[in-house]
Structure 1
């Protein structure tokens, strides 16, 4: 009985951790590009349900633990982008085009190879530049609302030391308590029932270049590719084309209701694909399906959590989101700076992206990527030195 329940419990834990650790990033991103409270709640709801349906379909069809989630780095990109000229309908149009590009990558492998051809340090630096402003929010919150932020940061530190997986969910619980205690009786308003608000998409060239294209690139580079790598690392051969077509179609369908991107999970993928889910790799797909069911059910509370978030100072919610993204920022920085030959180009990419500069209505993520790629191509990279003489035993010890 315990063996049968093990993948189910692993899927429940993955759903709880995945939702609690990053839903604040989604809400912050949707509101940053113009969504109202109701539209943001609608976006969170459809993202949860679509992710759950995709995980269930892919798991049952391929018998592989292919966990699906929303694009957390994509939501961070929306925070960094800020208000879009033309408002929320134009942002919705950008979400839809990003979904079309993901489907195209699943139909035409050449497009996926073109994305993979972007130098890894440049792609990682763009992601780091997107994440950096949001990851500074805990510091700003500690200065602006110290009585609310200090308990949140302290709980995160303690849990990060002793129960790392639960550090962000624990900090979120403390933040919720602080919000409730600091909100006057009867304060706040908003519907608690799950409601879907559909917006007719509109399009503009700046939004396509500054939102849709970077959203597609970030989702591919920071979600779909790492999510595939996690599965390969556990001995699976995931059908990436099928996953891209499925999640891209889900992104298209959910875009009018506020969903920015659905993709393979990268952060919580190991919870369903690893040995903790089940000793038998052929049984772990149950964990990903359960994860999907749990995430879809959690989405029914999108209205309630959005209302609660609406009571809080925006910087406090951004602080919780920033805590959730510190690990992703560390990984991105490491990947961006690991190659000395591409280090300057990566730093330029990071600086331009993090600056938040907007030119011709196009945000910094695109300009950072463009500047980094140009610098990478224009400036010659050092030629590798000749192979050194065979190392002595001492050399082997030093380099181990």
Structure 2
């Protein structure tokens, strides 16, 4: 194989584009929250930059390492709900105690992987419910493509049209074509503000952890619960809905261990990605599902670049048109949303539970600091359990009989005469 062929095999354009879009979506949608959380703990500019470096390195190592190990697109990310939680709960908490809480949460995640209890829970979740959960998580991004046409039509509409045309003419590069067209459109409309970009490299800042039991209970435990329920749970659902049976326990063990090692430098939460992972697991990443793991490997590389550039990311976020990010994410997830809805509604017996899961997840409700992905799945499981009890009782009940005037013996009513449930 020639060197050029090897490069093409290792870096297919559609795969690299999917990775770049996934990282762009992940960073632009959550980096500001991470900065807010760091500031809440009293971090200065150097420490904020160190947080981004630690998170970037952690995501790069776990994404690339786990994806190469299991030959599946195992993309990790920082905990966005966790960052939102920290932004409100770290006020008045010293950086040393915050780091202690990060390490405590990491130990709990590692123990979840070593004991295997989380994997056992996930094994009992039906595929239609997992697919409905994925569809609900991604709904906002799908509708975001069209909602952006109201205020940024000149950017969102070209992205949509170019995607549709490329899907028919160059299906492997549809998202890449849409991204290129969106960049051109946003430049022509003056959407970019490159004067705000400042280039600077991040440096690690070590903070010795301090373990205060009050902070461990009030910050560490909620951080663990939110990360597991709002990130790892839908992250596993994304992989399984896409047909990747990756062993859950080792993945949790490695992400927890990586977080524990990098916590003194600011890695508050490392977990499976959900929305951005869906970009890497779909057909747009690569037509051969066995090669889509390369998208997660490249995403890890781009996250490493994000971490190294640290403070530069913040300035770039303010320069990039938000409409461009949402529009490209929307077209990149169209095929995944279609597949998840088709899978969710494929089984008549679990269709009601899947719809409940989808609607509750898409609602965005947050209760007790836990996001809608957890509550949507809980609502779907509850619906499925109650429905199965009802079906069991109907099956156990004696069949009704009808007595004819012409015969004294009872005849069972024809089952075909009843309308199938859910028709």
TM exceeds 0.5?
Answer: yes
Contact persistence 1:24–1:317 (CA under 8 A): yes
- After superposition, the Cα gap between the structure-2 partners of 1:181 and 1:290, relative to the gap in structure 1 and judged at 3 Å, is same
Output aligned runs, 1:273-284, within 5 Å: none
| Deviations 1:320-354, CA, capped at 9 Å, x for gaps | 22222222222222222222111112211211221
User: What secondary structure is seen at the aligned counterpart in 2 of 1:136?
Assistant: helix
Taking structure 2 as the reference length, what is the TM-score of the superposition? 0.66
Max radius of gyration: which structure? 2
Contact persistence 2:106–2:260 (CA under 8 A): yes
CA distance in 1, matches of 2:192, 2:28: 25
Match of 2:11 in 1: 12
Match of 1:114 in 2: 121
Gaps of 5+ in 1: 233-237, 278-283, 386-400
Contact persistence 2:137–2:373 (CA under 8 A): yes
| Deviations 1:218-254, CA, capped at 9 Å, x for gaps | 122213x468x54x7xxxxx77654443344335556
CA distance in 2, matches of 1:252, 1:18: 29
Matched, 1:23 2:23: yes
| Deviations 1:256-292, CA, capped at 9 Å, x for gaps | 3476535797764797996997xxxxxx99x799858
CA distance in 2, matches of 1:19, 1:308: 18
Taking structure 1 as the reference length, what is the TM-score of the superposition? 0.69
User: What secondary structure is seen at the aligned counterpart in 2 of 1:126?
Assistant: helix
CA distance in 2, matches of 1:240, 1:83: 25
Output aligned runs, 1:246-395, within 5 Å: 246-253=254-261, 256-257=266-267, 260-262=270-272, 268=280, 291=298, 294-295=301-302, 298-299=305-306, 300=308, 307-380=315-388, 382=391
Contact persistence 1:41–1:306 (CA under 8 A): no
CA distance in 2, matches of 1:176, 1:259: 32
Quote the offset at 1:140 in angstroms.
0.7
CA distance in 1, matches of 2:6, 2:186: 35
Moved more, 43-52 or 362-371: 43-52
- After superposition, the Cα gap between the structure-2 partners of 1:190 and 1:250, relative to the gap in structure 1 and judged at 3 Å, is farther
Superposed CA RMSD: 4.7
Match of 1:180 in 2: 187
Output aligned runs, 1:52-63, within 5 Å: 52-54=60-62, 57=65
Gaps of 5+ in 2: 39-44, 92-97, 210-214, 396-423
Quote the offset at 1:356 in angstroms.
1.9
CA distance in 1, matches of 2:358, 2:253: 30
Matched, 1:164 2:163: no
